[in-house]
Amino acid sequence: MSDLILELKELLAQKKLSPETASRYIRISGASVVRWLKGTSKPRLASQRMILEGMERIRAELPDFRTTKEKIAYENNKEYRRLYGRVKHKLTKDDKVKLFNLQFEISNLYLDEIKKLDKKYNG
């Protein structure tokens, strides 16, 4: 296995990406990526260039978590979107009001903090 494919394999493990998802960044078929990772075929020169560009896109577009809190916040947001998609058509008016009020309170807390920071740094 070439160094390039080993680097790709490590990047996919680090970012927790499937070959099919990575193929969208590389802009080549998922089957080709799978074959390269399994070692059943080698990428040609044009594909190697596409792999390098795809890895740059992956690094640029996908978060590289610096802290556990960042990772938890990102995962919580993904989980929220997943669950909300499952229940949104079943929500009662009361449920919607409760969720809206929570979002409202959180946004107010966040805005208050940003205002304090703006005053601290910009006078």
Residue 35's contacts (CB-CB under 8 Å, 6 or more residues apart) are: 41
Residue 96's contacts (CB-CB under 8 Å, 6 or more residues apart) are: none
This prediction's pTM: 0.54
What is the share, in percent, of the chain residues with pLDDT greater than 90?
80
Angle at 49 between CA 44 and CA 55, to 5 degrees: 120
Q: What pLDDT digit, counting tens, does each position of 31-48 carry?
A: 999 999 999 999 999 999
Phi-psi category of 49—alpha, beta or left, where left has phi over 0 and alpha has psi -120 to 50?
alpha
Q: What pLDDT digit, counting tens, does each position of 52-111 carry?
A: 999 999 998 887 766 778 778 888 988 999 999 999 999 999 999 999 999 999 999 999
Which tops the pLDDT comparison, 39 or 123? 39
